[in-house]
Amino acid sequence: MKKNIVLYKTIPADQLKRLQQHFNVTIFDSVNQSNHADFRRALVNAEGIIGASTPITADDLAIATKLKAASTISVGVDQFDVSAMTARGIPLMHTPSVLTETTADTIFTLVLCSARRIIEMAEMVKAGQWTKSIGENHYGWNVSGKTIGILGMGRIGYAVAKRAHAGFGMSVLYYNTYDHPEAESQLNARRCDLDTLLAQSDFVCVVLPLLPSTEKLIGKKELQKMKPSAFLINGSRGKIVDEAALIDALETGVIRGAGLDVFEVEPLPIDSKLLTLPNVVALPHIGSATHETRYAMVECAVDNLIAALNGCLTHNCANPEVSKK
């Protein structure tokens, strides 16, 4: 007999067909206020769930008494009550490997766009304001040869460091809970404490998971330790940066600018001060948003759920301690 699962995101037809070959699938294109009650009713009989962008709370898990596995179409797992899932022995799978290079591309795009004022200058041209050779008030700043400080030397952090070192001759500093020998031997990266990284970096790139220990890791004190000429780049999770403190730092010249793909509240509210600041590049959380990568993420998430519910999951588990229960 096929197991019951709940799919709560639109996915390509061929990947939906794969799920339907293995499971009885209850489908929600997304979860919103109008169908949330139906979604919760579906959880009652679900042995597996797969989707993205919808919080799965302890209350949701409490009614999902038959749940045996969850698969998220993302690398981040902050939408889930991971502690509650682990306590129940429910594996939570994610897609950490397939989006590494695409996300690193996005982060380094933010570095370049912020320093060279690419978005600002492109909008000037499109608005018909390029009427003579540009002057000093439109100049940007070099990226090559500068120092990049990377908070988090995991897969994506290392991919960003490779681009910085090999492509732009940048010095690489990193802040991490453990040494990364390959980054040090191949990229001449140097591990240091947070204060040193902030003080010495021309670009501070946040590439950390959102955890209780990283929430608002970058606040007023940390921003004040950065160079006035430095840029803050955030391509991980918005809540790692104290947004109010960042806005103040950008308005008062504590730092030169910021490139942001993530925010405390998403979508970014239309009245956010960040949208009024010329020294901010703001993107709509597009880190992994290419056709190839988003397809690969769905395929990986489907693989993960099939493996977990068949009892043969070997990797991509965000809470691997459940295997010890």
Catalytic residues: 237, 266, 285
Cα separation of 149 and 183, whole Å? 13
Residue with tokens 């040494």: 179
- Does the CA dihedral 79-236-194-252 come out positive or negative? negative
Residues 130/187, Cβ–Cβ less than 8 Å: no
Residues 303/312, Cβ–Cβ less than 8 Å: no
Residues 222/194, Cβ–Cβ less than 8 Å: yes
Q: Which two tokens stand for residue 244?
A: 């109010």
Q: How far apart are the first and last CA of the chain?
A: 26
Q: What is the DSSP string of 176-207?
A: -SS--HHHHHHH--EE--HHHHHHH-SEEEE-
Q: Is the peptide bond before 267 cis (omega within 30 degrees of 0)?
A: yes
